[in-house]
């Protein structure tokens, strides 16, 4: 899996933005388009907590995209310790050590800190039907992976907000999976429990922190309550495309920020983050409504 490319910015003419069902969401213009790169990019420090607004306390640095997924865009002094603890323990540890652990191990995806990879533990279903948790060598495993596919954010679609997951699942499996499992004495591999709300919180965290790194408080933020788990109604601001697009060769993950208006004549505009995990494998697209723009775009990127 190759991670490469250079973060770039471009402008385009407005065009209609469509949901997976074909329903128009409004008009969208691309503001900045990024790929996650292996080279570090360090932004000017925030000097406040970008999640709760705290000032004058001890801050930690934020990877806008988790370094466990090879993200190297860093926003210094951007998270207070209480918010960082919530995000780390409730969102990032689950995603890195449970949800993405198998695929990270199989593909050799390590963080920039080069920590020794933890033992890979998986649940195998034996021929007898017994479920057994075993430690395996990643080289012996095929790629098995599942992610939720969300409908569009209710803020964009106008649909009512519900509490339950309303979507389906994307599954990825490499050729030869059955033979690899047979050598392990198993008929199938049982996936870990997937919590769609934690995926949504990770999507929200990436979109919010990347937008703040670029433009600072140039928008009224919509996502901090989702990120910190203060609301269970993540579907209002976080969703997806509703269908699977073709893989993007050579890039493990892609990210872009867009400027969105409901109609061409609307005065209010909003920032929409588009995130795709494992895009080279055909992973699903996610959207997060980052917030309401507080000034006309295009914004000027923050400088020290």
Q: State which of 65-74, 97-106, 168-177 shows the largest mean pLDDT.
A: 65-74
* pTM: predicted TM-score of the whole model, two decimal places: 0.84
Q: How far apart are CA 255 and CA 33, in angstroms?
A: 7
Contacts 24+ apart (CB under 8 A), 157-163: 157/19, 157/23, 157/25, 157/239, 161/233, 161/235, 161/236, 162/233, 162/235, 163/232, 163/233
Residues 6+ apart with CB under 8 A from 35: 4, 5, 6, 7, 251, 253, 254, 255
pLDDT in tens, 285-296: 999 999 999 988
Mean confidence (pLDDT) of the chain: 81
Report whether pLDDT(7) > 50. no
pLDDT in tens, 237-290: 999 987 788 888 777 788 888 888 887 778 899 999 999 988 888 889 999 999
Q: How far apart are CA 108 and CA 257, in angstroms?
A: 28
Q: How far apart are CA 293 and CA 220, in angstroms?
A: 6
pLDDT in tens, 13-23: 334 444 444 34
Q: How far apart are CA 144 and CA 139, in angstroms?
A: 13
């Amino acid at each position: 899996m190759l991670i490469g490319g250079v973060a770039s910015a471009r402008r385009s003419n407005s065009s209609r933005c469509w949901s997976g069902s074909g329903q128009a969401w409004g008009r969208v213009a691309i503001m900045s388009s990024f790929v996650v790169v292996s080279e570090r990019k360090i932004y000017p420090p925030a000097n406040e907590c970008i999640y709760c607004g705290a000032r004058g306390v001890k801050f930690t640095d934020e990877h806008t995209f988790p370094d466990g997924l090879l993200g190297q865009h860093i926003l210094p002094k951007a998270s207070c310790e209480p918010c960082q603890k919530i995000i780390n323990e409730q969102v990032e540890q689950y995603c890195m050590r449970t949800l993405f652990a198998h695929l990270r191990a199989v593909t050799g995806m390590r963080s920039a800190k080069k920590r020794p990879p933890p033992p890979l533990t998986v649940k195998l279903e034996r021929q007898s039907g017994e479920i057994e948790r075993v430690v395996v060598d990643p080289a012996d495993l095929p790629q098995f992976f599942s992610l939720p596919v969300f409908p569009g954010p209710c803020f964009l679609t106008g649909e009512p907000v519900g509490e339950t997951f309303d979507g389906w699942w994307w599954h990825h499996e490499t050729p030869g999976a059955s033979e690899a499992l047979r050598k392990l004495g198993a008929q199938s591999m049982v996936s870990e429990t997937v919590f769609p709300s934690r995926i949504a919180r990770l999507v929200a965290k990436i979109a919010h922190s990347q937008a703040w790194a670029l433009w600072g408080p140039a928008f009224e933020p919509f996502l901090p309550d989702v990120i910190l788990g203060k609301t269970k109604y993540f579907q209002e601001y976080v969703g997806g495309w509703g269908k699977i697009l073709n893989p993007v060769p050579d890039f493990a993950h892609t990210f872009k920020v867009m400027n969105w208006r409901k109609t061409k004549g609307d005065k209010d505009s909003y920032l929409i983050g588009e995130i795709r995990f494992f895009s080279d494998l055909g992973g699903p697209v996610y959207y997060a409504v980052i917030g309401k723009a507080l000034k006309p775009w295009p914004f000027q990127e923050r400088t020290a």
